[in-house]
Amino acid sequence: MASTTYSTSSRDLLHRITTNAARDNIDFTVLTFYQEALDSIKALSSNASTTPLPDFTTATKIDTHTHPIPSWFRDLELSAAGRETPSWNLHSHLSFMAERGIKRSILSVSTPQANAFASPSKFEGDAELRRKKTVALARLLNENAELTSKAPLRSGLGEFYFETARAISSLTASSSPYYSALLKYPSLHWRVSHGAGAFPDISERFLLGFPSVSAAAREAYKSRLWYDSAGPVWPNQIKGIGPEFSILGLGPVHTRYSPIS
C-alpha cells in the first residue's frame, strides 16, 4: 500500500529478498532482468527516504485500485490488451495522489500478480513445502498456459468482465449445501472492480435462480457493494448498475454521473 509516509525499514530489503530466494532455491540469475530489477528496488527504497513529499494535509481519499509498473516490468509487457503499457514512477504517482486528494493507494501488481511470490511470511518455516508447491504450481500454470495459447481471446480484452460477474454471482448464490457469503456477513462491504463487469446485464436473470435471497441481494448490491471505475467502464454498465448504486470516484450514479475516460 502506498501511503504518504515513508518507512526506513527497507534498508536491508535487498538482503532479505536474496536470502529468501536462496532459502527457497530460487535462482534469480535465470531472469535476464534480475539485476535491473534489484537496482530499481534499491533506488526506489533509497529515494523514498530522501525525496520531499507533496502536500497531503487535505487528502482523505483511498484509491483502491493502483497498478505500479516499474520500467523493467514494463519491458516484459510492452502491450496490454492491445494498448501500450503505461509508464509509471513513484513520484509522479504521489503528485497524482496529492492533486486529487488521495491519501493512500492500495497497490497490486498487474499480470502475473502476487502469485509469483505468494505469502512469504506464512510459509517461512517450511521452505521444502513451498518448493514442492512452487514446482507443482509451475506445472499447472504451464498446462494452463498451453491451453490459453490456443484460445483466440486474450483475457485482458474482455474475459475479466465475465470473471467479475462470476465473482459477484458466487458471493450471492445460495443453495444447499452452500450459502450466500454476501448475506451471511451483513456488515461487510465489498469493493468491486471494473464497474461490476458483465453482472449488471445478467443480474436479473441470475437472481431468478435464487428467489429466496433475490430481494436481500438487490439491497446488498445497492448498499454494500462499491463499484470502481478502474480500467475500461462503459456507459451501458453504469446504467445497468442502476441509479441507486454508488461508483467509487463518481458517487451515486443519478446525482454525480459523468463520462468515464
pLDDT digits (tens, 9 = 90+) for 70-115: 888 777 777 766 678 788 888 888 899 999 999 998 887 676 544 4
pLDDT given for residue 244 in this prediction = 52
Contacts with 207 (C-beta within 8 Å, 6 or more apart), sequence order = 172, 214, 217, 218
Note the pTM of the prediction, 2 decimals. Answer: 0.52
pLDDT given for residue 81 in this prediction = 60
Enter the C-alpha cell of residue 95.
Answer: 503528485
Determine contact, residues 47/6, Cβ cutoff 8 Å. Answer: no
Strand-pairing partners, residue 66, are 107
pLDDT tens digit string along 56-72? 999 999 888 888 888 88
- CA-CA-CA-CA torsion sign (156, 161, 165, 168): positive
pLDDT given for residue 257 in this prediction = 29
Look up cell 509508464; give the residue: 87
| Alpha-helix residue ranges (DSSP H) falling in 77-208 | 90-99, 127-150, 159-172, 181-184, 199-208
Is-cis flag, bond preceding 120, omega within 30?
no
Express as a percent the part of the chain with pLDDT over 70. Answer: 61
Strand-pairing partners, residue 248, are 228
Top mean pLDDT of 19-23, 30-34, 134-138, 205-209 is at 205-209
Please give the C-alpha separations between residue 170 and each of 29, 80, 153, 182, in angstroms, as whole numbers: 41, 28, 24, 9
Residue 121 pLDDT exceeds 90 = no
Residue 249 pLDDT exceeds 50 = no
